Amino acid sequence: MNRARVLIVAVVLILFIAGGGALIFANRHAGQPRTVDVTVTGAKTMSPHTWSANQNDTLTVNIKSDTDGEVHLHGYDIHFDTKAGQTVIQTFKADKSGSYDIEWESTSTPLGQLVVSP
């Protein structure tokens, strides 16, 4: 094989490897859809206590409460205005990693946390 062919093969191989790596990296951070079904009882407890997601996941939260009021997700500043016996649904992109408090707003009662992994 002459030098020109070896150089062309080497360049094509490098481009192929770089392109494959870029596709793998891009898909790794694309995020997945996730759904969390939540029950709030007595404006004091929440099940599940912890919501988990990976950064860039699209999170749909379905909250059912036995009390009228507001569940507040700090850090994302999302408010779930609950009505007793009804389900409130909110969808958002978990674009920030970290741990974020969830509380019953009127009494500042801690209900749990959203944990977003990088």
75 and 54 in one domain?
A: yes
Give the distance, in angstroms, between the CA of residue 99 and the centroid of all CA atoms in the same chain.
11
Q: What is the pLDDT of residues 57-96, one digit of tens each?
A: 999 999 999 999 999 999 999 999 999 999 999 999 999 9
Q: What total number of domains does the chain contain?
A: 2
Q: What is the pLDDT of residues 5-20, one digit of tens each?
A: 766 766 666 766 766 6
pLDDT of residue 13: 67
pLDDT of residue 16: 64
Position with higher pLDDT, 55 vs 3 = 55
Read off the CATH number of the domain in which 71 is found: 2.60.40.420
Q: What is the pLDDT of residues 39-55, one digit of tens each?
A: 999 999 999 999 999 99
User: CA-CA-CA-CA torsion for 59, 64, 70, 74, nearest 10 degrees?
Assistant: -30
43 and 13 in one domain?
A: no
Q: How many CB atoms lie within 10 A of CB 103?
A: 18
pTM: 0.75
Q: How many CB atoms lie within 10 A of CB 65?
A: 25
Round the average pLDDT of the chain to a whole number and report it: 90
Which DSSP string do the residues of 44-63 spell out, in sequence order? Answer: TEEESSEEEEETTEEEEEEE
48 and 13 in one domain?
A: no
**Domain of 91, in residue numbers:** 33-117
pLDDT of residue 1: 65
